[in-house]
Amino acid sequence: MTPTKLNAAIIVVSTTASKDPFSDASSGLLTESFAANSSAESATWQVIARSIVSDDREEIQGALKTLLEGPTRLNLIVTTGGTGFAITDITPEAVKPFLQKEAPGLVHAMLSASLNITPFSMMSRPVAGVSGSTVIITLPGSPKGATENLEALIKLLPHACIQAAGIQSSRKLHSGGVESLERHAGIHKHSKHPPKSDSPHSGHRHHHHHHGHNHGHAIPRAHTSPESRANRLDDAVTRRYRESPYPMITVEEATDMIARETQIKGIVQVQVNEDLVGYVLAEDVTAAESVPAYRASIVDGYAVVHSDGKGTYPVVSVSHAAPGSIPPLSSGQVSRVTTGAPLPPGATAVAMVEDTVLKSMTEDEREEAEVEILADRMEDGENVREVGSDVMKGDVVLRKGDIISAIGGEVGLLASVGRAWVRVYDKVTVGVLSTGDEVVHHDREGELRLGEIRDSNRPALLSAIKAQGFSTVDLGIAGDKTGALQSTLIEALQSVDVIVTTGGVSMGELDLLKPIIEQSLNGTIHFGRVAMKPGKPTTFATVQSPKKKLIFALPGNPASALVTLHLFVLPSLRKSQGYEKYEFPQVRVTVDEDMKLDPRPEFRRAFVRFDEVDGRLHASGTGGQRSSRIGSAHGANAVLVMPALREVSEKRRELGCIPKGETADAILWGQIGCA
Ligand SMILES: Nc1nc2c(c(=O)[nH]1)N[C@H]1C(S)=C(S)[C@@H](COP(=O)(O)OP(=O)(O)OC[C@H]3O[C@@H](n4cnc5c(N)ncnc54)[C@H](O)[C@@H]3O)O[C@H]1N2
Ligand code: MOO
Ligand SMILES: [Mg+2]
What does the pLDDT look like over 454-484, one tens digit per residue? 999 999 999 999 999 999 999 999 999 999 8
Q: C-alpha distances in angstroms, 303 versus 245, 309, 427? A: 81, 12, 50
Same domain flag for 378 and 394: no
Closest ligand (CA of 557): 1
- If one residue of 557, 604, 642 were mutated to test the ligand 2 pocket, choosing by the most ligand atoms within 8 A of its CB, it would be 557
| Contact yes or no for 603/648 (Cβ under 8 A) | no
Ligand 1 pocket, residue 503 CB under 6 Å: yes
Q: Where are the beta strands (DSSP E) in 384-461?
A: 384-385, 396-398, 421-425, 429-435, 439-440, 453-454
Closest ligand (CA of 459): 1
Please say if the pLDDT value at position 17 is more than 90: no
Ligand 2 pocket, residue 601 CB under 6 Å: no
Query: Helix (H, G, I), strand (E, B), or coil: what is residue 402?
Result: coil
Ligand 2 pocket, residue 560 CB under 6 Å: yes
Long-range contacts of 102-111 (CB under 8 A, 24+ apart): 102/127, 102/128, 102/129, 103/128, 103/129, 103/130, 103/135, 103/160, 104/128, 106/137, 106/153, 106/160, 109/152, 109/153, 109/156, 110/137, 110/139, 110/149, 110/152, 110/153
H or E element, residue 286: strand 285-286
Question: Which pLDDT belongs to residue 322?
Answer: 87
Closest ligand (CA of 564): 2
Alpha-helix runs per DSSP H in 359-479: 409-416, 457-467
Compute the half-sphere exposure of residue 524: CA atoms within 13 Å on the CB side of its CA.
17
Query: 261 lies in a domain?
Result: no
Instruction: State residue 230 phi and psi, 5-degree precision.
Output: -55, -40
Same domain flag for 376 and 394: no
Closest-lying ligand 1 atom to the alpha carbon of residue 435: 32
Closest-lying ligand 1 atom to the alpha carbon of residue 554: 19
Closest ligand (CA of 509): 3
* Cα diameter, the chain: 123
Question: Which pLDDT belongs to residue 220?
Answer: 32
Ligand 2 pocket, residue 574 CB under 6 Å: no
> CA-CA distance, 341 to 337, in Å (whole number)?
6
Cα-to-centroid distance, 504 and ligand 3 (Å):
5
> CA-CA distance, 113 to 57, in Å (whole number)?
28
Ligand 1 pocket, residue 404 CB under 6 Å: no
Question: Which pLDDT belongs to residue 1?
Answer: 54
The pLDDT tens digits for 388-426 are 999 999 999 999 999 999 999 999 999 999 999 999 999
| Nearest CA owner, ligand 2 atom 4 | 534
- If one residue of 243, 437, 455, 506 were mutated to test the ligand 1 pocket, choosing by the most ligand atoms within 8 A of its CB, it would be 506
The pLDDT tens digits for 553-593 are 999 999 999 999 999 999 999 999 999 999 999 999 999 99
Angle at 151 between CA 33 and CA 128, to 5 degrees: 110
| Nearest CA owner, ligand 1 atom 1 | 507
Closest-lying ligand 2 atom to the alpha carbon of residue 536: 1
Ligand 2 pocket, residue 7 CB under 6 Å: no
Report the CATH number that the domain containing residue 437 is assigned in CATH: 3.40.980.10
Same domain flag for 599 and 658: yes
Question: Which pLDDT belongs to residue 473?
Answer: 98
- Residue range 344-367: average pLDDT? 96
Question: Which pLDDT belongs to residue 23?
Answer: 82
> CA-CA distance, 609 to 632, in Å (whole number)?
17
Question: Which pLDDT belongs to residue 240?
Answer: 55
Of 211-225, 316-330, 594-608, the one with minimum mean pLDDT is: 211-225
Cα-to-centroid distance, 503 and ligand 2 (Å):
11
Query: 478 lies in a domain?
Result: yes
Ligand 1 pocket, residue 505 CB under 6 Å: yes
Of 543, 576, 609, which residue is a domain's last? 576
- Give the domain extent around 51: 4-164
Closest ligand (CA of 559): 2
Ligand 2 pocket, residue 558 CB under 6 Å: no
Query: 521 lies in a domain?
Result: yes
Query: 257 lies in a domain?
Result: no
Question: Which pLDDT belongs to residue 304?
Answer: 98
Ligand 2 pocket, residue 529 CB under 6 Å: no
| Contact yes or no for 607/631 (Cβ under 8 A) | no
Question: Which pLDDT belongs to residue 654?
Answer: 96
Same domain flag for 150 and 184: no
Ligand 1 pocket, residue 71 CB under 6 Å: no
Closest by CA position to 96, among listed 130, 52, 53, 132 = 130
How many domains is the chain partitioned into structurally? 6
| Nearest CA owner, ligand 1 atom 8 | 507
Query: 255 lies in a domain?
Result: no
Question: Which pLDDT belongs to residue 218?
Answer: 30
- Beta strands at 539-544 and 595-596: parallel, antiparallel or unpaired: unpaired
Closest by CA position to 595, among listed 584, 603, 587 = 603
Question: Which pLDDT belongs to residue 169?
Answer: 36
Query: 364 lies in a domain?
Result: yes
> CA-CA distance, 600 to 585, in Å (whole number)?
22
| Contact yes or no for 303/319 (Cβ under 8 A) | yes
> CA-CA distance, 410 to 272, in Å (whole number)?
10
Question: Which pLDDT belongs to residue 192?
Answer: 34
> CA-CA distance, 196 to 207, in Å (whole number)?
13
Closest-lying ligand 2 atom to the alpha carbon of residue 563: 3
Report the CATH number that the domain containing residue 405 is assigned in CATH: 3.90.105.10
Same domain flag for 461 and 570: yes
Same domain flag for 519 and 441: yes
More reliable by pLDDT, 438 or 38: 438
- Which residues have CB less than 5 Å away from ligand 3 (the ion)? 506, 508, 511
Same domain flag for 16 and 160: yes
Ligand 1 pocket, residue 557 CB under 6 Å: yes
Same domain flag for 420 and 433: no
> CA-CA distance, 267 to 281, in Å (whole number)?
9
The pLDDT tens digits for 66-87 are 899 887 889 999 999 999 999 9
Of 357, 385, 413, which residue is a domain's last? 385
Closest by CA position to 329, among listed 310, 356, 307 = 307
Cα-to-centroid distance, 511 and ligand 2 (Å):
15
Closest by CA position to 77, among listed 157, 163, 177 = 157
The pLDDT tens digits for 196-217 are 333 333 333 333 333 333 332 3
Question: Which pLDDT belongs to residue 189?
Answer: 34
The pLDDT tens digits for 479-514 are 999 998 999 999 999 999 999 999 999 988 888 999
| Nearest CA owner, ligand 1 atom 3 | 507
Judge if the upstream peptide bond of residue 292 is cis by omega within 30 degrees of 0.
yes
Ligand 1 pocket, residue 528 CB under 6 Å: no
Same domain flag for 518 and 569: yes
Query: 256 lies in a domain?
Result: no
Same domain flag for 25 and 131: yes
Cα-to-centroid distance, 562 and ligand 2 (Å):
11
Ligand 1 pocket, residue 537 CB under 6 Å: yes
- Beta strands at 368-373 and 356-361: parallel, antiparallel or unpaired: antiparallel
Closest-lying ligand 1 atom to the alpha carbon of residue 477: 35
| Nearest CA owner, ligand 1 atom 45 | 506
The pLDDT tens digits for 631-654 are 999 999 999 999 999 999 999 999
Instruction: State residue 47 phi and psi, 5-degree precision.
Output: -85, 110
Closest-lying ligand 1 atom to the alpha carbon of residue 436: 24
| Contact yes or no for 416/291 (Cβ under 8 A) | yes
Cα-to-centroid distance, 605 and ligand 2 (Å):
13
More reliable by pLDDT, 218 or 102: 102
Angle at 100 between CA 95 and CA 104, to 5 degrees: 75
Closest ligand (CA of 539): 1
Same domain flag for 14 and 33: yes
- Mean pLDDT (the chain) is 88
The pLDDT tens digits for 158-184 are 889 888 887 543 333 333 333 333 333
Ligand 2 pocket, residue 557 CB under 6 Å: yes
Report the CATH number that the domain containing residue 664 is assigned in CATH: 2.40.340.10
- Residue range 370-397: average pLDDT? 96
Long-range contacts of 66-70 (CB under 8 A, 24+ apart): 67/9, 67/11, 67/134, 68/98, 68/131, 68/132, 68/134, 68/226, 68/229, 68/230, 69/223, 69/226, 69/229, 69/247
> CA-CA distance, 355 to 6, in Å (whole number)?
87
Question: Which pLDDT belongs to residue 675?
Answer: 61
Contacts of 257 (CB under 8 A, 6+ apart): 249, 526, 527, 540
Same domain flag for 472 and 613: no
Judge if the upstream peptide bond of residue 546 is cis by omega within 30 degrees of 0.
yes
Query: 169 lies in a domain?
Result: no
H or E element, residue 490: helix 482-495
Instruction: State residue 210 phi and psi, 5-degree precision.
Output: -90, 30
Task: Look up residue 291 and give its DSSP letter.
Answer: B
